[in-house]
Amino acid sequence: MSADKFFITTAISYPNGRPHIGHAYELIATDALARFQRLDGKDVFFLTGTDEHGIKMLQTARKEGIEPKELADRNAAEFLRMAEVLNASNDDFIRTTEARHKLACQAIWKAMEASGDIYKGGYAGWYSVRDEAYYGEDETEVREGVRYGPQGTPVEWVEEESYFFRLSAYGDRLLAFYGENPDFIGPIERRNEITSFVRSGLKDLSVSRTTFDWGIPVPGDEKHVMYVWVDALTNYLTATGYPDPNAPRAGFWPANLHVIGKDITRFHAIYWPAFLMSANLPLPGRVFGHGFVFNRGEKMSKSVGNVIDPFSLVAHYGLDQVRYFLLREVPFGQDGSYSHEAIVNRTNADLANDLGNLAQRSLSMIAKNCGGVVPQHGAAAPQDEAILLAAVEALGSARKAMGEQATHHALASIFAVVSEANRYFAGEEPWALRKTDPARMETVLWTTIEVVRRVGILCQPFMPESSAKLLDLLAVDTDARTFAHVAEEHALKPGTPLPAPQGVFPRYVEAAPEASQ
């Protein structure tokens, strides 16, 4: 039997600038979700990429005096590099200027047209260049002589010939769909916002532009280019090989989960399902709108420079430290902020002290007292059984949490076991047992490193590189690291030689203040 398919996506980023911490945050979280499903036995397709058309790209390029494609090439390379630096496990990286994407966009357009949902009209309205969206007069307000849209960006009156999508016809169908699929939009706050927006009535949507040509031509009427959101949303289909039903990845549609930021929920939870309904295509399983991360403006080390840059953040604190911090500290779905103190605290308290020390102390005792091999274990005492069981049960809790995109809860369950294992280790005092009861010492050490093995497997989606190092120290085969291997029958075998112990989670040490001149 083939494994269940799981198609997960990030939003595709605008490459009109370099990647920032928000992009890194979304990619890291989606990567953890993708890795989790892979380790849980799913056949995962994880997609990310760049959204390269539209007026914003054109305007930035003009300002720099270059062609938009040149701007896209330059910055897309930075987004690709970010995916590498963040150790993202994406299976594909889509750029909307690729030929495969033009095919898909024109195909979905024709399918919507064939359903009678595309018509030509004239458009006049309040347009925000920044949001690339038209707003109704009632959604705008004038402050100090300037009119602003609902996102706080300036709007201007624009009139053009335009194709429209009959979005107004989809309100009832969307509401029925949300009703039947209560998990379609998460978290719940987003669902409520979207539902009440749809209830208040939908207007037809202008879906083409004639004022510029940096986009995908409308089939049959090439002086129009598609509205950038029709183009952008279709990327998810393009990557599955649409419209070719026999493409190798065709079976991945519909997507299971679109991970996006909360500011673009409307596009993903209203427009996208309406386009798909119109094109007679199946709808994605879930759209999750995460919160925003902000820099609270804490003073950072001078040598770091601008820490909002994800590259310097990773270079300074370490990749897995940044990944752990973002996934543990910020409840996924809510806004969060990061600060030097908070990252250092998580790095030192949870990683270096709790997990790192537990592994280091137990493994160095084994190196010294048990001949550097996995120790023997006698009959398990109730406290041994309890901690071993807790490590298995953490998988269930983490699975439930990750099913709801609650990365912070998943990590909390895993690290609760780490804390408990530290209490167990301290309470059993294996160093004292060395003289009084060496057999019991071995059992305690075995139990401890077996818990570390289980925890190490569970930590892989969040901290892939450090978890791999931890599992290497326990001589766990690389093909014995899936979630199925958390189970007792895959426990460490006494007598297995272990490599020399090494620290996996270094403490963050503050640099000495720079000498003032």
Residues binding ligand ME8 (CB under 6 A): 11-14, 22-23, 25-26, 51, 232-233, 235, 260-261, 263-264, 292-293
Rounded CA separation 338/348 (Å) = 16
Burial class (CB in 10 A: 0-12, 13-18, 19+), 325: buried
Tell me how far, at minimum, the Cβ of 280 lies from ligand ME8, in Å.
21
Q: Please identify, using beta-carbon distances, which residue of 12 and 452 lies nearer to ligand ME8.
A: 12
Tell me how far, at minimum, the Cβ of 249 lies from ligand ME8, in Å.
18
* Sign of CA pseudo-dihedral 9, 13, 15, 19: negative
Please name the amino acid found at residue 158. V
Q: Please identify, using beta-carbon distances, which residue of 26 and 450 lies nearer to ligand ME8.
A: 26
- Which residue number places its CB atom closest to ligand ME8? 261
Tell me how far, at minimum, the Cβ of 333 lies from ligand ME8, in Å.
11
DSSP state string for 191-255:
HHHHHHHHHT----EE-EESS---SPEETTEEEEEE-HHHHHHTHHHHTTTTT-TTSTTGGGPSP
Q: Please identify, using beta-carbon distances, which residue of 129 and 380 lies nearer to ligand ME8.
A: 129
Tell me how far, at minimum, the Cβ of 48 lies from ligand ME8, in Å.
10
Tell me how far, at minimum, the Cβ of 241 lies from ligand ME8, in Å.
18
Rounded CA separation 42/401 (Å) = 17
Q: Please identify, using beta-carbon distances, which residue of 27 and 411 lies nearer to ligand ME8.
A: 27
Residues facing residue 337 across a β-bridge: 294
Of 267, 257, 274, 248, nearest to 111 by C-alpha is: 274
Which H/E stretch holds residue 408? helix 407-428
Tell me how far, at minimum, the Cβ of 105 lies from ligand ME8, in Å.
12
Q: Please identify, using beta-carbon distances, which residue of 52 and 384 lies nearer to ligand ME8.
A: 52
Q: Please identify, using beta-carbon distances, which residue of 33 and 293 lies nearer to ligand ME8.
A: 293
Q: Please identify, using beta-carbon distances, which residue of 232 and 374 lies nearer to ligand ME8.
A: 232
Pinpoint the alpha helices (H) of 330-375.
340-345, 357-369
Pairing of strands 5-9, 43-50: parallel
Tell me how far, at minimum, the Cβ of 57 lies from ligand ME8, in Å.
10
Q: E-strand spans in 243-327?
A: 257-261, 286-290, 293-295
- CA 248 remoteness from chain centre: 24
